[in-house]
């Protein structure tokens, strides 16, 4: 069971999407229940994974026996997955948010319910797959698989400017993906590599680094793709539009998981594969991160739309994560990873709370919610705790990573 546990977790949402597809379109309650129980089953297996994972091991765990897919250009592509401490935390975060996004859509989505839940389940498989893939081709397949469902979630179930936001999201992320694909192809065809295996490539380039000029070019290609996903200043402009126009579940997934794909990419690929380029670009990245921190905070202070306020705060928070990563210390990387998880929890919760009042008042203007604590005292308590967590109050989760 242990050897197949990760594969089962990966493909349960896809199986759930198939069951939803076969369900009658008019049976909304059945579709919602199937989607919810699929996510709950995946979360339960994630709990099993939690207790079987050994945090003291450095190497990849839960690795599957490699299944050969096909050959392309003399290179063999394998189905190969596994996880270490970095991907473990992010997979658990993704599994935790799965049932939450289904419940957040329970009464909010009334049109095209079947298609909506199919896209959410496919997106779940794409996100988990990107975190656990140990083959570069497989990673890129899952990376692109995430793009399509989110594009439709924003473009169909979003707000008034949903088409603009969806196309902007698609163009930004696709531009970065194309650059990353070119870099991946160049890396894997190197005569001394000739493989898509991520662990083999990482170990080989650690012992025999590429030429400094090649490292800088390839790092730049990876870095742009991941910086767009983070998003770092000045690649951040797609995020506020996507967050504001996305349905509540889409905003939770964006804040909770998809933004972490960028920082995960830096930790997993850009930094270990091209160490010379990382050192040379450290100052530039840290300056951009500092600009993002200050800019995101200042712009947040000027917002009258509470959802846009939270969106710009994400730009600021992820700047701290990038700052920690490019400090190039073990403490910085560990703090950045913890903050990635903390941000996913606190900001995802903020978007859920914003969704609660939006479904009741159909407005996100802060001026419309004066005296909310008098009529919704319990809600006000939750909102205050989550907000304080987001700003890093000592004793709450946001403080652990930022300190």
**Short-list 269, 144, 134, CA closest to 199:** 134
The C-alpha atoms of residue 11 and residue 67 are separated, in whole angstroms, by 15
Q: What is the pLDDT of residue 255?
A: 85
The torsion angles phi and psi of 194, rounded to 5 degrees, stand at 50, 45
Please state the pTM of the whole predicted model. Answer: 0.90
Q: What is the pLDDT of residue 401?
A: 60
The torsion angles phi and psi of 64, rounded to 5 degrees, stand at -90, 155
Q: What is the pLDDT of residue 119?
A: 93
CA distances from 321 to 137, 240, 306, 318, 333 (A): 27, 19, 23, 5, 8
Domain of 186, in residue numbers? 2-402
Q: What is the pLDDT of residue 44?
A: 94
CA gyration radius, the chain: 21
Q: Which pLDDT band, with edges at 50, 70 and 90, does 1 fall under?
A: very low
Alpha-helical segments (H) within 209-274: 212-229, 238-245, 248-253, 259-265, 271-273
3-class SS of residue 302: coil
3-class SS of residue 314: helix
Q: What is the pLDDT of residue 230?
A: 87
Q: What is the pLDDT of residue 126?
A: 92
Which region holds residue 390: left if phi is over 0, alpha if psi is between -120 and 50, else beta? alpha
Which residue in the block uniquely carries the two structure tokens 């692109």? 144
Q: What is the pLDDT of residue 118?
A: 92
Whether the pLDDT of residue 347 is over 70: the answer is yes
CA distances from 334 to 214, 228, 297, 340 (A): 28, 22, 24, 10
Q: What is the pLDDT of residue 3?
A: 67
Which residue in the block uniquely carries the two structure tokens 């369900």? 23
Whether the pLDDT of residue 397 is over 80: the answer is no
Establish how many alpha carbons lie within 13 A of residue 261's alpha carbon, considering only the half-sphere containing its beta carbon.
Answer: 30
The C-alpha atoms of residue 240 and residue 253 are separated, in whole angstroms, by 14
Structure tokens at 246: 């996305």
Maximum mean pLDDT: which of 75-79, 348-352, 397-401: 348-352
Q: What is the pLDDT of residue 403?
A: 56
Q: What is the pLDDT of residue 39?
A: 93
3-class SS of residue 135: strand
Tens-place pLDDT, residues 69-98? 777 767 788 888 888 888 999 999 999 998
Structure tokens at 60: 């990849």
The C-alpha atoms of residue 337 and residue 388 are separated, in whole angstroms, by 20
Neighbour tally for 297: CB within 10 Å: 15
Distance of CA 335 to the CA centre of its chain: 17
Mean pLDDT, residues 199-217 taken together: 87
Q: What is the pLDDT of residue 402?
A: 57
Using an 8 Å Cβ cutoff, are 315 and 265 in contact? no
CA distances from 23 to 27, 29, 67, 103, 117 (A): 7, 11, 32, 19, 11
Q: What is the pLDDT of residue 29?
A: 86
Mean pLDDT, residues 371-390 taken together: 85
Structurally, the chain folds into a number of domains equal to: 1
Angle formed by the axes of helices 2-22 and 113-132, to 10°? 160
**Short-list 195, 169, 342, 210, CA closest to 263:** 342
Tens-place pLDDT, residues 265-323? 999 988 898 989 999 889 999 999 999 999 988 988 888 888 888 888 888 888 889 99
Structure tokens at 229: 């996903």
Maximum mean pLDDT: which of 18-32, 188-202, 212-226, 230-244: 212-226
How confident is the prediction for the chain on average, in pLDDT? 86
Provide the percentage of residues in the chain whose pLDDT is more than 90.
24
């Amino acid at each position: 069971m242990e050897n197949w546990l990760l594969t089962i977790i990966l493909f349960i949402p896809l199986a759930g999407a198939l069951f939803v597809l076969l369900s009658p379109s008019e049976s909304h309650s059945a579709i919602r229940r199937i989607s919810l129980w699929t996510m709950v089953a995946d979360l339960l297996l994630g709990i099993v994974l939690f207790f079987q994972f050994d945090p003291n091991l450095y190497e990849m765990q839960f690795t599957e026996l490699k299944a050969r897919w096909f050959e392309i250009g003399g290179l063999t592509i394998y189905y190969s997955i596994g996880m270490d401490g970095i991907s473990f935390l992010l997979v658990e975060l993704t599994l935790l948010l799965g049932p939450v996004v289904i419940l957040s859509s329970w009464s909010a989505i009334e049109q095209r319910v079947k298609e909506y839940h199919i896209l959410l389940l496919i997106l779940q498989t794409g996100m988990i797959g990107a975190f656990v893939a140990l083959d570069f081709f497989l990673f890129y397949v899952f990376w692109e698989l995430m793009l399509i469902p989110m594009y439709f979630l924003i473009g169909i179930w979003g707000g008034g400017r949903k088409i603009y936001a969806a196309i902007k999201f698609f163009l930004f992320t696709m531009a970065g993906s194309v650059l990353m694909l070119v870099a991946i192809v160049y890396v894997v065809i190197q005569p001394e590599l000739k493989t898509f295996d991520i662990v083999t490539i990482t170990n080989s380039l650690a012992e025999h680094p590429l030429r400094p000029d090649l490292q800088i070019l390839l790092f730049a290609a990876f870095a742009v793709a991941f910086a767009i996903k983070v998003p770092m200043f000045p690649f951040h402009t797609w995020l506020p539009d996507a967050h504001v126009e996305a349905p509540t579940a889409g905003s939770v997934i964006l804040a909770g998981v998809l933004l972490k794909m960028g920082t995960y990419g830096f930790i997993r690929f850009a930094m270990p594969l091209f160490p010379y380029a990382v050192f040379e670009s450290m100052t530039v990245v840290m300056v951009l991160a500092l600009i993002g921190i200050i800019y995101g905070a200042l712009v947040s202070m000027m917002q009258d739309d509470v959802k846009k306020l939270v969106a710009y705060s994400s730009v600021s928070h992820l700047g701290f994560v990038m700052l920690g990563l490019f400090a190039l210390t073990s403490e910085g990387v560990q703090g950045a990873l913890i903050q990635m998880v903390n941000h996913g929890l606190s900001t995802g919760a903020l978007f859920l709370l914003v969704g609660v009042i939006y479904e009741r008042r159909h407005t996100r203007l802060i001026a419309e919610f004066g005296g909310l604590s008098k009529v919704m005292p319990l809600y006000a308590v939750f909102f205050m705790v989550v907000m304080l967590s987001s700003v890093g109050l000592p004793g709450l989760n946001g403080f652990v990573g930022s300190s």
